Structure formats: structure tokens, C-alpha cells
Chains A and B, each alone.
Chain A
Amino acid sequence: MAQYLLSVHSVEGEVREPMTEQEMQQSWKQVGILEKEMMSAGAWVFSGRLHEPDTATVVRVANGEVLTTDGPFVESKDHLGGFYIIEARDLDAALAWASRVTAAIKVPIEVRPFAAVGAVDDALAAQSPGDRKA
């Protein structure tokens, strides 16, 4: 099994087909059903929806001092709106869940594998004999 991040990206000011109240209800209902299914299938690890990026705060160390700044790390039109962390047998299984999420919320989903599971192997693989040649 491997873990995948399914991230929901929203683009600020992007014109989207506005949902009616009824469609919104429908979408929430579908997401609720889907999440229950993920849980009973043992696929759900964690999920969450985020507030707007202007609610973010960034901390960093500069000259040995912690510096705090208001606003997101990267000023960008595109920001993370929410995410799922799921457990799946392979990419096909992860894509199948992602397809159902995007069908329910009508926003594209990015699927990205976590390096954590079998971390040593993966880290080795990333710089290993495979790089010597193609």
C-alpha cells in the first residue's frame, strides 16, 4: 500500500459555473457519501478544507531570529483549497478515488504519491543506479 495526497486547487477569481443552492447541497451530499465510503474501504487517512490563503501566516528563521509575516508563502492566484490523504494499492486505485472526488466537487484534483512509505527504498531509488542510465 502507498499513500497519496489528493489536493484540490482553486484559482482565485477563476470564472466557474456558479452552483445553485440545490447543486451545492447535492455536491456536499455526494462528498459526504464518498468520504464514508473511503473510510469503510480503509482508504481515508485524513482530509480537510482550508480557509482562504489571506488567512495564512509564514514563519522563517533569519539571522537566528524567527520572523513572522502575514499572508501566504507564495503570492499566487492558484492555492490549495483542501486535500485528502488516502491509502491505495497503486496509482490506478488512487486515481479512481480522485475521479470520484472531482466528479462530486467539479474541481480538478492533483494526485501525488507520498515518499514516506518505505522511505529508505524510495530515497535510494531517487538517486540510485537508475540515474546512471536510461
Chain B
Amino acid sequence: MTARPDAGRNVDAAPELDAAEVGRIFREESGRSVAALIRVFGDIDVAEDAVQEAFIVALRKWASDGLPPNPGGWITTTARNLAIDRLRRESRGRELLSELAVLSSGNGDPSLPEEVGPVQDDRLRLIFTCCHPALSRDSQVALTLRLLGGLSTEEVARSFLVAEATMAQRLVRAKRKIKAARIPYRVPEQHELLDRLHPVLAVVYLLYNAGVANPAEPDLCSEAVRLARILATLMPDEPEVAGLLALLLLTESRRASRTRSDGTLVLLGEQDRRRWDRAMIEEGQAIVRRCLRRNQPGVYQLQAAINAVHADAATIEQTDWSQIVALYDQLLAVAPTHVVALNRAIAIGEVRGPAAALALVDELALDNYYAFHATRADLLRRLGRNGEAAAAYKHAAALAPTDAERDFLRLGGRASRLSNG
């Protein structure tokens, strides 16, 4: 299955059900249904096929009867019944069903078509399976978008600029490994949770950043925020999960002001702050405050806190840079990377001036990182060393990962605070 059900058909017959609405329901609900059916049938392909088929049935039925009161529940129940019907027709399926009957002897006959209530944990099980450390990061990302996000293979491929056939193969291989190696479908126990949570959060964060770099349909930024929200609902006691949601909300709040209509980047200091989304900022800041009270800092919480400080300032000049430096000190302590050190140096430049920042920046081994050269260029320019600044801009532009960033640097744009934009 390479595409979502054709949402355009039959819409004329029932004007109350429009294509966008069915598309939205699919995006919202398919992950939940797929997760529930994997639990019931123990097989990802069976679950995916059945949910897909259920949406095709739904398009027809809803067009004539209107939306059921609980579309998600309707889809899950219908998909389950469709899967059972199909399995009964296949010999391998009958074996699978009899195995299920043995396994779930406590719950009665699983082939009885009853209402399937979504178990709260199903999507959580699914994301831990998708992001199992035995799968490559590329596979983790693809599986998460496909199974949990309800994106078609074609959409997943497009969002990572990969050929559809390549993506299809990646997904098939990953699902085969899950099955053959028996990657479990369960939420890790408390003592393993911290290790296992790391790739889950990394995947969602990567999705967001991929969305920033490639602003195309499907909208990966919104998808990442939605996934972070699901995780935060499912794991309310994990501070880093809350931290990730806050970080994404606070970053996403600046979306409208982040790029010009021609796609070029606008620096944090030059953004029209009136266009920042106040509702997202308030939600993000409230989460940051709760994290501070909990006092178990981690990389996502600290980055969220830094963004919360930016969100507080009405203008770039009013930014509480010493607060930001203090947060970067903490961040550097938990994540001692050169990229963090670079961002900390930029903040120090705002407090103690460009010479102090440049001294710190020049100690970093980031020669292949465009933001390193962009930062140097800006600091050199502020110190009046224009020849060196021009060379650094040129160097940065050559390394820039996206056209928007490249154009920006070619114009000799000021690069400080770029990373916070």
C-alpha cells in the first residue's frame, strides 16, 4: 500500500464529509488502530493492511451514513473484523488465529468481533518497537512516520528526499527484522527506560529538524509536535519527554516569522516577535516551569528553558543573556559537545563581547560545520576584521546544508543567533 485511501471519491454524495476531514481522521487515528491491531494479531503487516482496508470501507460508508460518533473506534473494530475474515481465508492465517486463541485464553476467543477499546499503551509499545536500538536510525524514523504517523510510504520517502522504492525497501527490511529477530512489542521496564527512551526522543527531534530543513508537504514539524504530544500524554512522569514537547512548541511558535515569503531565513534578532504564536509559547513555558520544579534537568529540558528565555524577551536587546549563558553552562555539563559549546560561546558574546566569544569559538574542532564558520564570520565582523569575516562567510556558505541557509550566508547575513532561529 503506497497511498492513503482516495479521499476524493464519493465526497459529492455527502457534502458533510469532506476529503480533508477523512485525511485528518486517518492521520489522527491510524496510528492508534495499527498499534491496537499489532497487539491483537502480533503482526505488523496484518495490522497495516486491515487498517488501510477499514479506511476504504469507511470512505464509502461514511459518505452515505455520515461520521460515526467515534470514528477511531469504528476504524479499529472494523479493521479487526476485516483482519479476522482475511486470516480465516488463508491457511497461515488460520494457524495464526489458533495461536492467538491459545495465547489469549484468558480473554475468550479473539476471533469474536467485539468492540476493541484502544489500550492506552498500544502506541507507546509501538514507538518503542519502531525506535528499538537494534534498528538503524533511518529505519526508526521511517517506521515511526509510517506506522505511528500514518504517512504513506510515498510521503515518508518525499519528506526525506529518498526514492519511493528505496523507502519501501527500507520499511520491508525493518519489518522483516522486527519479525525475524523478535524485537518485542512492549514498553521497556523502568530500569531500561532511560536508555530506550533516548532513541525515541531523538527520532521525534530529528523529524522536527528535517521539517525545518525541508518545508514541504507532509509537514514534518507539525507531525513531530503531534508525536511529542502523544509521548507526553503517555509518559507524563518522564521529564525529558515533557522537555522535548516544550522545546518543539517553543521553536514552532516562531515558525511564521522564521522564513521570508521567498524562503530565506530570518534571524532570531530580526524576527517580528508579534508574529510568534503566544498560545504555543504559553504552553511551552508552563511545561518548562513544571520541569524546573521537578529539578531533573536533561538536554531537551535545558534547550526548552533556553528557548523559553528568548520567548520572554519583547526584543532581542531585552533578552536575559546571562540567564541563557547559565543554562548553556548546565547543558554543556550534561551534553559536552562542541556544538553546544559553540552556542554557549555565542551567548557569552552577547554578555562579554565578541572578543571573548571568538576566543572560545576558535578552540572548537568544528571545521566541517557551517554554523561554526558563520559564527566566526559574525564575530570577526563585529570586531571590524572584515577581510577575515568575508572569508569565513564564504567558507560557511560552501558548507551550508540547505538552500535557504546558503542564500542567507551568501548575502553576508549576520549569523549570530542563527542556531536559535
Contacts and interface: CB of A to CB of B under 8 A. Distances in A.
Nearest to B168: A134
Nearest to A133: B1
A134 B176 contact: no
B32 interface: no
A125 B168 contact: no
B176 A125 contact: yes
A124 interface: yes
B1 A90 contact: no
Nearest to B91: A124
B346 interface: no
Contact of A134 (B92, B95, B132, B153): B153
Contacts of A90: 182-184
Contact of A121 (B95, B182, B188): B95
**B92, B171, B175, B182 — which one has the most chain A CB atoms within 10 A of its CB?**
B182
A113 B181 contact: yes
A111 B168 CA distance: 25
Interface residues of A, number: 21
Nearest to A126: B176
Interface residues of B, number: 26
Contacts of B171: 134
A91 B134 contact: yes
B112 interface: no
B313 interface: no
Nearest to A2: B182
Main secondary structure on B side of the interface with A: helix
A111 B179 CA distance: 15
Interface string B251-275: 0000000000000000000000000
Given A91-B134, A133-B1, A133-B2, A113 B175 contact: no
A113 B183 CA distance: 11
Interface string B92-115: 100100000000000000000000
Nearest to A124: B92
A70 interface: no
Interface string B274-303: 000000000000000000000000000000
A66 B182 CA distance: 39
A134 B2 CA distance: 7
A130 interface: yes
Nearest to B178: A91
Contacts of A92: 183-184, 188, 192
Contacts of A129: 45, 49
B180 interface: yes
Contact of B146 (A91, A130, A134): A134
B204 interface: no
A131 B172 CA distance: 7
A102 to B, nearest CB: 15
Interface in B55-113: 92, 95
Nearest to A117: B182
A95 interface: yes
B179 A125 contact: yes
A115 B179 CA distance: 11
Given A91-B184, A133-B1, 11 more contacts: A90-B183, A90-B184, A91-B132, A91-B181, A121-B95, A122-B180, A124-B92, A129-B49, A130-B172, A131-B172, A134-B171
12 contacts: A89-B184, A112-B181, A113-B180, A121-B92, A121-B95, A122-B179, A126-B180, A128-B92, A130-B45, A130-B175, A130-B176, A134-B170
Interface of B: 1-2, 45, 49, 92, 95, 132, 134, 146, 153, 167-172, 175-176, 179-184, 188, 192
